[in-house]
């Protein structure tokens, strides 16, 4: 077996047998990869790795690759850095669940994508440390994720513009078709794209605005990637935020 070292962010897990699971990670060394994790549920409760494999948890590992096995394995895996807020704040853990599911559904490539990985890795640390503006984080995440998936806005915003979802452009004239964001959502998209994640609390949105913008972004993503429709955690987000 060939060994290698890497970092990863947990996207999804599936129970396998009585004591094992399959973990899907976004990694720096190979894009999205699946790993067989054996003995993750120890009967004694000691030495369990289960706590490592929660949505969006960052890990460092030594992996094992075999030409005879489809899934990779871990020789060693550990938390990459201590999380201070994400596991204990229901708002942050809810967002982590949503972000992980979006990435699991949309990112399929098994090739290294350093810019995407660095963005996702940075999002984990930013969300964990955030004190104010948490309610806007998932919206900021979606807006900036569009950059790495290849369909971010292709021109500059002008006041009063609509955002044409089909063309990926801001336009001063409302398109005749229905694939368009409202003026308010278009302005929010501009604000989020321009905003430093540490200043998210400066974007004052109420609950109805967040829901409307989230719905608009799901339409936008859905126009380019059908898999977004399978994301189930959207319902929880709408209830919490």
* pLDDT tens column, 30-42: 999 999 998 776 5
Dihedral (CA of 127, 128, 131, 134) sign: positive
Rounded to whole angstroms, the Cα distance separating 97 from 90 reads 10
Residue written as tokens 């890497």?
6
Going by the DSSP 8-state scheme, the letter that residue 50 receives in this structure is G
Alpha-carbon dihedral sign for residues 77, 80, 81, 82: negative
Question: Which pLDDT tens digit goes with each residue over 176-228?
Answer: 999 999 999 999 999 999 999 999 999 999 999 999 999 999 999 999 998 88
Q: Is the pLDDT of residue 43 over 60?
A: no
If one compares 181 and 234, the residue with the highest pLDDT of the two is 181
175 C-beta neighbours (distance < 10 Å), count:
15
- Per 3-state DSSP, the chain is made up of helix, strand and coil in percentages (nearest 5) of 40, 20, 35
Q: Report the DSSP pairing between strands 162-164 and 31-37.
A: unpaired
Could you tell me the CA-to-CA distances from 147 to 11, 196, 210 in Å, in that order? 20, 15, 20
pTM of the model: 0.91
Distance CA 221, CA 241 (A): 20
Tell me the C-alpha distance between 228 and 105, whole Å: 7
CA atoms of 98 and 76, how far apart (whole Å)? 27
Q: Is the pLDDT of residue 147 over 90?
A: yes
Q: What is the pLDDT of residues 51-85, one digit of tens each?
A: 899 999 999 999 998 877 778 999 999 999 999 99
The answer to whether 34 touches 22, Cβ cutoff 8 Å, is yes
Distance CA 227, CA 147 (A): 17
Position 103 scores a pLDDT of 96
* Residue 45 and residue 39 in contact, taking contact as beta carbons nearer than 8 Å: no
């Amino acid at each position: 077996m060939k060994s290698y070292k890497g970092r990863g962010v947990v996207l999804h897990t599936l129970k396998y047998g009585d004591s094992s699971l399959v973990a899907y990670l976004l990694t720096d060394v190979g894009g999205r990869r699946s790993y067989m994790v054996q003995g993750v549920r120890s009967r004694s409760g000691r030495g369990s790795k289960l706590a490592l494999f929660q949505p969006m948890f960052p890990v460092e590992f030594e992996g094992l690759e075999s030409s005879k096995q489809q899934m990779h394995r871990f020789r060693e895996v550990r938390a990459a850095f201590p999380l201070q807020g994400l596991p204990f704040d229901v708002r942050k853990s809810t967002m982590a669940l949503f972000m992980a599911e979006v990435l699991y559904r949309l990112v399929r490539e098994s090739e290294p994508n350093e810019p995407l990985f660095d963005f996702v890795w940075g999002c984990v640390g930013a969300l964990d440390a955030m004190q104010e503006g948490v309610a806007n984080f998932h919206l900021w995440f979606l807006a900036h994720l569009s950059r790495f998936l290849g369909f971010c806005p292709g021109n500059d915003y002008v006041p009063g513009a609509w955002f044409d979802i089909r063309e990926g452009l801001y336009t001063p004239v409302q398109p005749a078709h229905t694939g368009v964001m409202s003026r308010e959502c278009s302005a929010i998209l501009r604000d989020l794209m321009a905003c430093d994640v540490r200043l998210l609390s400066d974007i004052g949105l109420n609950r109805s605005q967040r829901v409307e913008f989230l719905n608009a972004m799901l339409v936008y993503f859905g126009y380019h990637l059908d898999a977004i429709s399978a994301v189930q955690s959207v319902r929880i987000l709408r209830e919490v935020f």
